[in-house]
Amino acid sequence: MARRGPVARLGIMGGTFDPIHYGHLVAAEAARTEFDLEVVVFVPSGHPPHKKDSRLTPARHRYLMTVLAVATNPWFEVSRVEIEREGYSYTIDTVKAFRERYGPATELYFITGADAILEILTWHRVNELLTMCRFIAATRPGYHLDGLGQVLQKLPPEGRGRIHLLEVPALAISSTDVRERVRCGRSIKYLLPEAVEHYIYKNHLYVSDAEAEGVEEA
């Protein structure tokens, strides 16, 4: 996991990152500057509980692409905490691991997509989770917030106040679109860092379900 030491505010950037793209990177940088985070640790999901039936690219590829993507930002790090943990990747276990590592004085911010936060009521031990960290829900401009508003109303007021919205224009980019472009032979240039683009082609990722090297069940 990330460095030890006194950190006042730490961001935990959770996502599947299949693959990581500039939308994720711009969102993490915006969260860092707007919430005055000292470090943002990217945590590629291991076995997401909500993706039991979907096919994910093996964790080692998603992890390595994330490492390549953050290499030039001194405030960004990558953690293997979820990909090394057995069983499903519950966010509460991840946040607990960071809490143990950094101690009670560090304010933790879990950053992820607003669409993922929309499902937060279904997350494992959500009320307890909301006492352990703040959430930053990254949205693209024009994102319809009604659904999220309804979800937030169902949370206890103290939990609701711990979910913050962050508008990120670059989130018009999506991993689904990147995968589809590769499958169809269309360009992915300027949607993600060049090192990640090269990694995808070198490892024949996203070419097709059958061809993608070592694609595994989630």
Q: Which residues bind ligand NAP (CB under 6 A)?
A: 13-16, 23-24, 27, 45, 48-50, 89-91, 111-113, 115-116, 119, 123-124, 138, 171, 174-176
Query: Which residue reads 């694609």 in tokens?
Result: 215
Determine the Cα–Cα distance for residues 18 and 65; give it in Å rounded to an integer. Answer: 9
Residue closer to ligand NAP by CB (options 9, 50) is 50
Residue closer to ligand NAP by CB (options 79, 89) is 89
| Cβ(37)–Cβ(110) below 8 Å | no
Q: Which residue of this chain has its Cβ atom nearest to ligand NAP in the complex?
A: 113
Determine the Cα–Cα distance for residues 100 and 94; give it in Å rounded to an integer. Answer: 10
Minimal distance, residue 16 CB to ligand NAP, in Å: 4
- H or E element, residue 182: helix 175-184
Minimal distance, residue 72 CB to ligand NAP, in Å: 18
| Cβ(119)–Cβ(94) below 8 Å | no
Minimal distance, residue 203 CB to ligand NAP, in Å: 19
Determine the Cα–Cα distance for residues 183 and 206; give it in Å rounded to an integer. Answer: 6
Residue closer to ligand NAP by CB (options 113, 193) is 113
Minimal distance, residue 113 CB to ligand NAP, in Å: 2
Residue closer to ligand NAP by CB (options 5, 156) is 156
Residue closer to ligand NAP by CB (options 5, 216) is 216
Sequence-separated (6 or more) residues with CB below 8 Å from residue 178: 19, 21, 188, 191, 192, 206
Minimal distance, residue 79 CB to ligand NAP, in Å: 11
